[in-house]
Chains A and B, each alone.
Chain A
Amino acid sequence: MQLSESNSADAGDFVGLLRRSGALRDQKHLEGHLPPLGGQPPVLETQATTVLAFKFSDGVLVAGDRRATAGNVVMYDRADKVLEIDRHSVMAIAGSPATAWEMARVLEHSFQFYRRSQLQEMSVEGKVRALSKLLRDNLGMVLQGVGVVVPIFATYDYGAEDPAKVFFYDAMGAQFEATDFAASGSGGPSVRSILYYENAWGKTQLRDLDQKGAITIALRALDTAAEADTATGGIDRQGKIFPIVKIVNQNGITTVPDDVLSSLFQTALSPS
């Protein structure tokens, strides 16, 4: 370990610090090792799929299935794609876990580093942009078709009139704020259709759902996505593997425990 001094120009910039210290490298070392544009990726990449987030009466619900695949192989059936970044922020990932988990790690440390060094919390815009910057830094990889990540970022902004916030991104780092819901991953399109349908023509709009209702919709959406998409785990009844469901509100982040999911699941997926 060696001491290095900071100056005010890059104060609070953890990514910059990691670059200087060599802990984080840009992708120059990969040059010449990646396939030409449009070619086959050199490795069979592990992919994680189907995450969703929507606003309901008590904050934001973020959920993701548990399956990670590489080609047609199931790599892992207990993957956690809904990652807590700080006390009020959650990042849900679809795409390459190798890149996504590292991004989550960088983000988590960046926000803490900023808070500790600058003695104030980073603004929500700042946090949203930090993720956008990481995605853009990954552009070189994306163009080669490796390490693509398409995340959803959900947070609770105390100062705002509408404090529950959901942002989604494209692989190049463009950020979009969702009014009501967002979905990503290979099962994303079907989840999106369901959430749109529920919101527009369902009995209750997503915003007005209570917690139980919200979890039910999330379970149903993931189950439906798994029906037609082999890369989505859905709900494993035998293995008792349930999706990860987290709720972000003024009290911070709560993970819905498996037994609650299990009992809701009994009613949620039986015809009403």
Chain B
Amino acid sequence: MIDEPYRWVEAIANRREYIESELAPGSPTIALSCQEGVLLLTFGKDRKKIFEIYDRIALGGIGHPGDLERLRMMAIELASTEGFARSVSDVSLRRMTTYSFSPAFKQAFEQVYGAPYLARLLFAEVGATPADDLFVALDYDGSMSANSMGSGKGRDHFSVIAGTRRSATQIAEYLRNEPVGSLDSALAVAVRAWGVGLYTADEDHADIPPPEELKNFLKAQLKDYSIEAALLERKPKTRIAFTELGEDQVGSVLSEYKE
């Protein structure tokens, strides 16, 4: 059946439609550069979605838990093996995503007899300065968007993955206009950006809501969600940059949305 070109295109299109519908309800994950490092933030209902991959690399994901787990393990194995065989400083997110992940995703997606990855990933790598931070968003078909790998393009200080394309676009739009300095300001901005993502996810709301409406929306939503946040420290005490942010660090930001 799929040996004919048209059928193959059709099969791929069906597959794309299926995966998009599976990913659509996913809660957005946001990565944001600040002075202290890179903040990763999402809200979830039951399972963990932000993970440490290597000394300076973290991962956030939307999708099927089984696939996310496989991909997370692949990333950890890739990074650890290289870090051992060469050096910790040779482990690079740019190489890991372009040479390993993107081709693997594309292959799984286009081989229509096999199962594709039901996953959308957001990788972050903290650099020496905010201008060196790297974010790579990877989609189930292997397509990638990075905040800075090419030349000549203005670089973003953030990256985002969301269930729907519209939601991701609106979060990006929102973040582009929100200046970020310290970790506290990054947390506040990221929480609001997540709200924008959830607000614009459904068909009824196409645009970013006005501040007051966004606040009320978040107040209502946060009852059902719990926050998950992690920081890749720019200047960690040990080699390891990843720390999960506890209640004491995120509490004050969230208190604004408590009744």
Nearest Cβ on chain A to B52's Cβ, whole angstroms? 5
Task: Tell me the complex Cα distance, A18–B76, Å.
Answer: 13
Stretch at the interface among B33-41, B80-88, B146-154: B80-88
Find chain A residues with CB under 8 A from B81 CB. 17-18, 21, 23
Size bracket of the B interface: 20 to 34
Would you call A17 and B96 a contact (CB within 8 A)? no
- Can you name 18 A-B pairs with beta carbons within 8 Å? A1-B95, A1-B99, A3-B100, A3-B104, A4-B74, A5-B70, A5-B73, A5-B74, A23-B81, A23-B85, A106-B84, A109-B80, A109-B84, A112-B80, A113-B80, A116-B76, A117-B73, A117-B77
**Nearest CB of B to A130, in Å:** 14
In whole angstroms, how far apart are the Cα atoms of A87 and B70 in the complex?
28
A21 to B82, alpha carbons, bound, how many Å? 10
Asked if A6 and B84 make an inter-chain contact with CB atoms under 8 angstroms apart, the answer reads no
Q: Does A133 contact B (CB under 8 A)?
A: no
B61 CB → nearest A CB, Å: 14
A90 to B96, CA, bound (A): 31
Q: Does A129 contact B (CB under 8 A)?
A: no
Choose among B70, B76, B238 the residue that contacts A113 (Cβ–Cβ < 8 A): B76
Residues of A within 8 A of B51 (CB): 116, 119
Least distance between B247 CB and chain A CB atoms (Å)? 19
0 or 1 for each of B112-141: is its CB under 8 Å from A? (1 = yes): 000000000000000000000000000000
- Top 4 nearest A-B pairs (CB, nearest first) are A23-B85, A109-B84, A113-B80, A3-B74
A212 contacts chain B at the CB level, 8 A cutoff: no
Interface residues of A in 11-33 (CB under 8 A from B): 14, 17-18, 21, 23
Is A2 among interface residues, defined by CB-CB distance under 8 A? yes
- A14 CB to closest chain B CB (Å) equals 6
Interface of chain A residues 94 through 144 with chain B (CB within 8 A): 105-106, 109, 112-113, 116-117, 119
Residues of A within 8 A of B54 (CB): 116
Q: Is B53 an interface residue (CB 8 A)?
A: yes
Q: Is B78 an interface residue (CB 8 A)?
A: yes
Provide the residues of chain A in CB contact with B96, threshold 8 Å: 1
Q: In the complex the two chains form, what is the Cα distance from A109 to B91 in whole Å?
A: 13
Q: What residues of A have a CB within 8 angstroms of the CB of B74 in the complex?
A: 3-5
* Cβ-defined contact, B76 with A117, below 8 A: yes
A97 → chain B, closest Cβ, in Å? Answer: 18
Contacts known (A1-B99, A3-B104, A116-B53); A17 close to B77, Cβ less than 8 A = yes
Nearest to B83 among chain A residues (CB) is A109
The docked-state distance in angstroms from the alpha carbon of A1 to that of B85 is 12
Chain B residues lying within 8 Å of A3, measured Cβ to Cβ, are 74, 78, 100-101, 104
Q: Is the interface of A mostly helix, strand, loop or mixed?
A: helix
**How far is it, in angstroms, between the C-alpha of A6 and the C-alpha of B77 when the chains are bound?**
9
Give the complex CA separation of A250 and B184 in angstroms: 29
Enumerate chain B residues within 8 angstroms of A1, measured Cβ to Cβ: 78, 82, 95-96, 99-100
Interface positions, chain B 50-86, Cβ under 8 Å from A, are 51-54, 70, 73-74, 76-78, 80-85
Least CB distance, B23 to chain A, in whole angstroms: 21
- A21 neighbours in B (Cβ, 8 Å): 81
Q: How far is the CA of A113 from the CA of B53 in the complex (A)?
A: 9
Given contacts A18-B81, A23-B84, 13 further A-B contacts (CB under 8 A): A1-B95, A3-B74, A3-B78, A4-B74, A14-B80, A87-B238, A105-B84, A109-B83, A112-B80, A113-B80, A116-B53, A116-B54, A116-B80
Taking each of B51, B70, B73, which has the highest tally of chain A beta carbons within 10 Å of its own beta carbon?
Answer: B73
Question: Residue of B at shortest CB range from A109?
Answer: B84
- Note all chain B residues with C-beta closer than 8 A to A4: 74, 77
Q: Which residue of B lies closest to A21 (CB)?
A: B81
Complex: chain A residue closest to B79, CB-CB: A116
Q: A73–B247 Cα gap in the complex (Å)?
A: 57
User: Which residues of chain A have C-beta atoms less than 8 A from B104's C-beta?
Assistant: 3
| Most-contacted residue by chain A among B52, B84, B100, B101 (CB, 10 A) | B84
Residue of A nearest to B48 (CB): A119
Residues on B with C-beta less than 8 A from A119 are 48, 51
A113 vs B104: C-alpha distance when bound (angstroms) = 22
Chain B residues with Cβ below 8 Å from A18 are 81, 84
Q: Which residue of A lies closest to B101 (CB)?
A: A3
Residues in A with CB closer than 8 Å to B70 are 5
B81, B83, B238, B240: which has the most chain A beta carbons within 10 Å? B81
Pick from B48, B73, B80, B100: contact of A2, CB below 8 A. Answer: B100
- Measured in the bound complex, the distance between the Cα atoms of B74 and A112 in whole Å is 15
* A103 to B: closest C-beta gap in Å: 12
B residues near A17, Cβ cutoff 8 Å: 77, 80-81
Instruction: Name B85's closest neighbour in chain A (CB-CB).
Output: A23
Q: Report Cα–Cα, A4/B100, bound state, in Å.
A: 11
Q: Which residues of B contact A2 (CB under 8 A)?
A: 100
Contact partners of B77 in chain A: CB under 8 A: 4, 6, 17, 117
